[in-house]
A and B are shown apart, each in its own frame.
Chain A
Amino acid sequence: QKEVEQNSGPLSVPEGAIASLNCTYSDRGSQSFFWYRQYSGKSPELIMSIYSNGDKEDGRFTAQLNKASQYVSLLIRDSQPSDSATYLCASRASKIIFGSGTRLSIRP
């Protein structure tokens, strides 16, 4: 059974700090990795995708991929209350597989 594992949280981070979200995947054939943000009662929204080892930065978000260790992480710098949401990690080999999500809470 191919899986994507995430700590369900909640992860509580003070406003302005760095939020670090982690994810591991089991399928070594995975080539594409994604982070989706899902606000309560809303649908998932793609915020980052990463395909090669290393870091990828987009504004306050940085995705990190380590294929040897089979983990993906998402760093959110200067966390804002509006970042409070559930973050879904996903990997794709032949098909996309989602983790169950990590709930992030940014406290003012």
Chain B
Amino acid sequence: ETGVTQTPRHLVMGMTNKKSLKCEQHLGHNAMYWYKQSAKKPLELMFVYSLEERVENNSVPSRFSPECPNSSHLFLHLHTLQPEDSALYLCASSQDLREETQYFGPGTRLLVL
């Protein structure tokens, strides 16, 4: 275990549903990240938070809405998703933005029907 947990581990949702992914890190880190991993495609960085402030948003559609209420928790709110959004969503954390080593959570496997 890396000290980063994610829930749920699996999620099936319809295109009209609203759901949220949760990430929690127990490492005392100050930076947290959301990644999307699709089959046979590179890991895509979606959002970066540092000390609860969003510092990066890589042209992610507005149907994905991140929230970072404190430095230990990160959420990804989902609404009106498309089937092509089906992927593994990974959360990661690092000591701070300058620290290169990122610790990944186990991911949430999302299927959009």
One of A14-22, A44-52, A62-70, A75-83 contacting the partner? A44-52
CB-CB < 8 A to A11: which residues of B? none
Does the CB pair A100–B102 fall under 8 Å?
no
Contact-residue size bin, chain B (C-beta under 8 Å from the other chain): 10 to 19
Of B41, B43, B45, B58, the residue contacting A44 (CB under 8 A) is: B43
One of B14-22, B63-71, B75-83, B104-112 contacting the partner? B104-112
Most chain B CB within 10 A, of A43, A49, A88, is at A43
B90 at the A interface (CB under 8 A):
yes
Residues in A26-56 with C-beta less than 8 Å from chain B: 32, 34, 42-46, 49
Does the CB pair B102–A88 fall under 8 Å?
no
CB-CB < 8 A to B62: which residues of A? none
A45 to B3, CA, bound (A): 12
Contact-residue size bin, chain A (C-beta under 8 Å from the other chain): 20 to 34
- From known contacts A44-B90, A98-B43, infer whether A49 and B104 are also in contact, taking CB-CB under 8 Å: no
B89 vs chain A, min Cβ distance (A):
11
A66 to B41, CA, bound (A): 25
* Known pairs A43-B2, A43-B106, A98-B42 / 4 extra A-B pairs, C-beta < 8 Å: A46-B102, A49-B100, A92-B100, A95-B48
Which A residues contact B (CB, under 8 angstroms)?
Answer: 3-4, 8, 32, 34, 42-46, 49, 88, 90, 92, 95-101
Which B residues contact A (CB, under 8 angstroms)?
Answer: 2, 40-45, 48, 56, 58, 90, 100-102, 104-107
